[in-house]
Structure 1
Amino acid sequence: MPFYRIILVAKGALIMGKTIQVKDLLSNTRLSVVQGQEYLNRPIVTADISRPGLEMTGYFDYYAPERIQLMGITETTFAQRMTHDELLMIARKMMDPRTPAFVVSTWRKLPVEFLQIAAENKIPVLETELTSSQILANMTYYLSGQLADRQSVHGVLVDIYGLGVLITGDSGVGKSETALELVQRGHRLIADDRVDIYQRDEENLVGEAPAILRHLMELRGVGIIDVLNLFGAGAVRDHSTIAFNLHLAKWDKDTKFDRLGNGEDYITVQGVRLPRMVLPVQTGRNLAVLIETAAKNFRAKKMGFDATETFNKNLNALIEKNSPKDE
C-alpha cells in the first residue's frame, strides 16, 4: 500500500482547522512586535477580531476576551482622555488570560498602563503601519482560512488557466496521470490523491494539499515523485479557489452522458454548490486536452459565451428557414 494512502481519511470526512499561534499570524501579516516576543506561542482559537470601543468606556457585558483585540486611532485617542487609574482599571479587564494578542494599527502607541498590564499577563503587543481596516482584513482573511474546518475529498486539484479544477473519479481511472500531463502542459498541481477543502465564504471553496502530501504525486509503477523538484516552482501552487468538479467516469455504452453541455449538475461541499461535469474515460481520448477545453469552456460560459445556446439558435433558425410557409 502506498505510504500516504495509510493517512487518507474517509472520503468526505471533516478535519478540524489548523492550530494557530500568534507567531503564525506575525509571519503571515504585516505585523511587528512591540513587546512580548517570548509569548508568541499563545494560541488563537477564533478568526473573529474585536475593536474594543465600548470597552474603553467600561462596558464589558459582551466582551469577547478570546479574540485578538485591535486598537486604532479612535481607541488610542480616546485613551488619551482617561486618567491613570481609569486606564489601569480598563486594562485589567481587557487583558484576559485567554486574549491572544493586542494589535495596534497606524503606528499608534498603547498607553503605558496597557503595556504594563499586558506584560504582567504575558500578552504580546503587535503593531503595524496599516490602517485598522487594512490589518483587520488581512488578519481575518488569514485566520478564516487557517481555522476553518476542512472536508477531505479523494481526488486531484489542478490550477488550469487560473481555474481550480477538482478532478475526481474511481481509483485507477487515471487522475494522477492526467494531472501529470496537465503539469507538463504548463498548468499547476495543488494536491494529488487527497484534497482538503474549506469554505472561504458563502459561495467559494478553497482546496489545498495536506502538509505531508504537499507537492507530491503517486504514479503507479513509478512511485512517489516531487513535482516541485522535477518541474520547478511554476508547476505547483499551495492552494486555489475551486471553480468546478470534473468527474472521470469509465466509459459504459449503456450510460447516457451529456453531449451538448446544456445539463446543469452540482455537488455540495461544505454547504456550497459546486458545478460538476462528467467526462467519460475511453481508450484513445486525450484527457488532458479535454480537461483544458472544459476549463476554457467553463470560463467562456461565465463570461456569457455559451456555445450550446449558439447551437440552439442556429438550429432554430434552420428549422424556421426550412418550415413550410403559410399561403
Structure 2
Amino acid sequence: MAKVTANDLIEKFQLELLCGEEGVYRPITTSDISRPGIEMAGFFTYYPAKRLQLLGRTELSFFEQLDKSIREERIEKLCTYDTPGIILSRGLDAPEELLEVADKVGVPVMRSSLTTTRLSSQLTNYLDVKLAPMTAIHGVLVDIYGIGVLLTGASGVGKSETALDLVRRGHRLVADDSVEIRQEHEHNLIGTAPDLIQHLLEIRGLGIINVMTLFGAGAIRPFKRIALAIHLELWDQNKMYDRLGLEDETVKILDTELPRITIPVRPGRNLAVIVEVATMNFRLKRMGMNAAQQFSDRLSEVIEEGDREEF
C-alpha cells in the first residue's frame, strides 16, 4: 500500500497551507472523507479522527454562530494527534480558533478554491487509487481488443515472445515480467508496469527492447483493467486438458476471483493466435454466446433423439 500524506495532497490539488506545517507528513490511512457537521454541534462519540476533515460553508457558518468558549472546546476535540489534516473548501477563511489549535497540535490546515462536493469527490477518487490494496505478479499484461489479459506461467515458457507477437498483430503492451496490480474497487483490478521497466520487453537471445520506440506510442498502454488470466504451461501428456471449454477456472488475486484459461505449450502451437482467439471467445461468452455450451446442448439433443428412436 502506498503512503499518502497531506504534502502529497498539497502538491496534487494545489492546496494552500494555512498552518500546521509540522504535520504535513502525517500518513493518511483511509480514503474516507469526513464532514464534521455533527461534531461541530458537539457530538464526538463516534468522531472519525483518522480521516481527512473537510469543512465547507455549512460547517463554518454554523461554527461562527457558537460562543467563543464553545468554539474553542469543539476545535480542541476536532484537532487530534491522529487527524491527518483539515481542508477548507470554496476559499473560505479559517476561524482563528482553528488556526491556533491546529498549529499547536501539528494538524495541517489547507484551503482549496473548489466547491465542497467537487473537492470531496476528487480527494476520494485520488485516495482510493493511492491507498488501494496492491500486489505484484510475475507475468505479462496485454490489451487485446480492449480486454486486459494477464499472461502467467513459469519462466521461459514464452510469455514475452507471445506478447511481442501480439504487439505485432496490433495489440498493446502494458507490462512485461512484473505486473503491479491494484484493487481500486470491488472486483476491479488495475495492472500497471513498474516505472523501471515501463514500455520494455525482454526476449531471450535478443535482450531488452523498447516497444514504444520500435512500434510507436499506439503499441503501449500505461495501465489496464484486468479481465482475464491466461496461464501458459508446458504440455503434460499425463494431464487431461479441457477440450470443450465448459470448465470454468478462476484464480484469486487480492480479493477478486479472475477467470482463468490454461493453455498447454508445445512446439508448433501459435500461442499469439490462440491467446487472441481465447480473448475473443471470452468476450463472446460475456455477451451470452457460448460455443461450447451450444455444442453440448446440440449433442444432448442428438443423444435424446437416438434414445427415442430405439424405443
TM over 0.5: yes
C-alpha distance in 1, partners of 2:5/2:213?
30
Aligned partners of 2:187 and 2:255 also within 8 Å: no
Gap change, CA 1:326 and 1:212, over 3 Å in 2: closer
Aligned partners of 2:20 and 2:103 also within 8 Å: no
Q: Per-residue displacement from partner, 1:87-109 (whole Å, max 9, x unpaired)? A: 33322332334433222345555
C-alpha distance in 1, partners of 2:145/2:101?
52
What does 1:111-122 correspond to in 2, within 5 Å? Answer: 111-120=95-104, 121=106
The equivalent of 2:16 in structure 1 is 33
- TM-score (structure 2 length as normaliser): 0.85
Once the two structures are overlaid, the 10-residue window that deviates more, 300-309 or 228-237, is 228-237
Q: Which of 123, 135, 156 pairs up with 1:139? A: 123
Q: Which of 239, 253, 261 pairs up with 2:245? A: 261
Q: Which of 221, 224, 228 pairs up with 1:237? A: 221
1:127 pairs with 2:127 = no
1:291 pairs with 2:286 = no
The equivalent of 1:52 in structure 2 is 36
What does 1:183-202 correspond to in 2, within 5 Å? Answer: 183-202=167-186
Gap change, CA 1:88 and 1:201, over 3 Å in 2: same
Once the two structures are TM-superposed, the CA of residue 321 in structure 1 deviates from its matched residue by 5.2
Gap change, CA 1:69 and 1:249, over 3 Å in 2: same
The equivalent of 1:302 in structure 2 is 286
The equivalent of 1:65 in structure 2 is 49
Q: Per-residue displacement from partner, 1:263-318 (whole Å, max 9, x unpaired)? A: 01112222322211101112222222221222222122122121122222333344
Q: Which of 4, 22, 25 pairs up with 2:6? A: 22
Once the two structures are TM-superposed, the CA of residue 37 in structure 1 deviates from its matched residue by 10
Any idea what SS the aligned residue of 1:217 has? strand
Any idea what SS the aligned residue of 2:179 has? strand
Aligned partners of 2:79 and 2:107 also within 8 Å: no
C-alpha distance in 2, partners of 1:214/1:312?
44
How many pairs are equivalent?
Answer: 309
Gap change, CA 1:153 and 1:287, over 3 Å in 2: same
1:270 pairs with 2:254 = yes
Aligned partners of 1:118 and 1:124 also within 8 Å: yes
Aligned partners of 1:31 and 1:128 also within 8 Å: no
1:95 pairs with 2:79 = yes
The equivalent of 1:182 in structure 2 is 166
Structure 1 residue runs without a partner (length 5+):
1-16
Which residue type is aligned with residue 276 of structure 1? R
Structure 2 residue runs without a partner (length 5+):
none
Gap change, CA 1:183 and 1:100, over 3 Å in 2: farther
Aligned partners of 2:35 and 2:53 also within 8 Å: yes
Aligned partners of 2:92 and 2:111 also within 8 Å: no
The equivalent of 2:193 in structure 1 is 209
Aligned partners of 1:34 and 1:127 also within 8 Å: no
The equivalent of 1:10 in structure 2 is none
Which residue type is aligned with residue 196 of structure 1? E
C-alpha distance in 2, partners of 1:119/1:262?
64
The equivalent of 1:225 in structure 2 is 209
Once the two structures are TM-superposed, the CA of residue 167 in structure 1 deviates from its matched residue by 0.7
Any idea what SS the aligned residue of 2:185 has? coil
C-alpha distance in 2, partners of 1:158/1:100?
38
Aligned partners of 2:10 and 2:17 also within 8 Å: no
Aligned partners of 2:20 and 2:108 also within 8 Å: no
Once the two structures are overlaid, the 10-residue window that deviates more, 171-180 or 282-291, is 282-291
Which residue type is aligned with residue 301 of structure 1? K
Any idea what SS the aligned residue of 1:199 has? strand
Aligned partners of 1:47 and 1:144 also within 8 Å: yes
Q: Per-residue displacement from partner, 1:11-70 (whole Å, max 9, x unpaired)? A: xxxxxx112222433455x56326359665443233232221222123333333332112
Any idea what SS the aligned residue of 2:77 has? helix
C-alpha distance in 2, partners of 1:186/1:131?
44
Which residue type is aligned with residue 219 of structure 2? A
- TM-score (structure 1 length as normaliser): 0.81
Q: Which of 49, 61, 75 pairs up with 2:59? A: 75
RMSD: 2.9
Aligned partners of 1:100 and 1:124 also within 8 Å: no
